[in-house]
């Protein structure tokens, strides 16, 4: 996907109502108060496509940075949010609201904007041993 396609996916998520129960969509998962998309990137294939893991991770980070730059043009500079404390608090047994608990398990940090009563976030997460994902989140739930 290109940056323009990533922007279109985020715009699509922003236009959708949040479902009453958690479920899958063509872009990822949605639930009460959130949409969590896993956007394809050129570097997502990892070793499966003959690309070293480091190169795949770097490509995914570069695409995330390009998307964050485009979103910054729209909405100003993001807040850079570490998810370390969310992860630690969740491991310690504290209940975290969706989608923040899942994000704390898969991503180290996010770029975050507050727009029209919603939080929009983008970040990079390891999908599995060989793949990286570009995450996009639209939620009405405040970060913990």
Residue 88 dihedral angles phi and psi, to the nearest 5°: -65, -45
Instruction: For residue 144, tell me if it sits in a domain.
Output: no
For residue 90 the two structure tokens come to: 């969740």
Q: How many domains does the chain have?
A: 1
| Model pLDDT, residue 52 | 65
Q: What is the largest CA-CA distance in the chain?
A: 42
Instruction: For residue 31, tell me if it sits in a domain.
Output: yes
Q: What is the dihedral of CA 81, 140, 121, 10, to 10 degrees?
A: 180
Q: How confident is the model at residue 66 (pLDDT cuts 50, 70, 90)?
A: very high
pTM for this model (two decimals): 0.88
- For 44-95, where are the alpha helices, taking DSSP H only? 53-75, 84-91
Q: Tell me the average pLDDT across 127-143.
A: 89
Is 48's pLDDT higher than 80?
Answer: no
For residue 111, give the DSSP letter. Answer: E
Instruction: For residue 12, tell me if it sits in a domain.
Output: yes
Is 47's pLDDT higher than 90?
Answer: no
Instruction: For residue 56, tell me if it sits in a domain.
Output: yes
pLDDT tens digits along 17-39: 999 999 998 899 999 999 999 99
By residue range, what is the domain housing residue 121?
3-139
Instruction: For residue 10, tell me if it sits in a domain.
Output: yes
What's the N-to-C CA distance of the chain in angstroms? 31
Whether 68 and 121 have beta carbons less than 8 Å apart is answered as no
């Amino acid at each position: 996907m290109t940056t323009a396609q990533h922007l279109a996916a985020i715009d699509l998520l922003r236009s959708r109502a949040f479902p009453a129960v958690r479920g899958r969509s063509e872009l990822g998962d949605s639930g009460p108060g959130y949409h969590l998309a896993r956007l394809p990137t050129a570097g997502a294939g990892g070793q499966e496509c003959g690309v070293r893991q480091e190169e795949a991770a770097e490509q995914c980070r570069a695409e995330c940075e390009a998307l964050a730059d485009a979103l910054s043009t729209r909405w100003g500079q993001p807040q850079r949010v570490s998810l370390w404390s969310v992860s630690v608090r969740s491991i310690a047994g504290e209940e975290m609201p969706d989608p923040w608990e899942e994000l704390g398990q898969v991503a180290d940090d996010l770029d975050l904007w507050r727009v029209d009563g919603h939080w929009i976030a983008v970040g990079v997460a390891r999908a599995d041993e060989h793949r990286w994902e570009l995450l996009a989140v639209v939620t009405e739930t405040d970060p913990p």
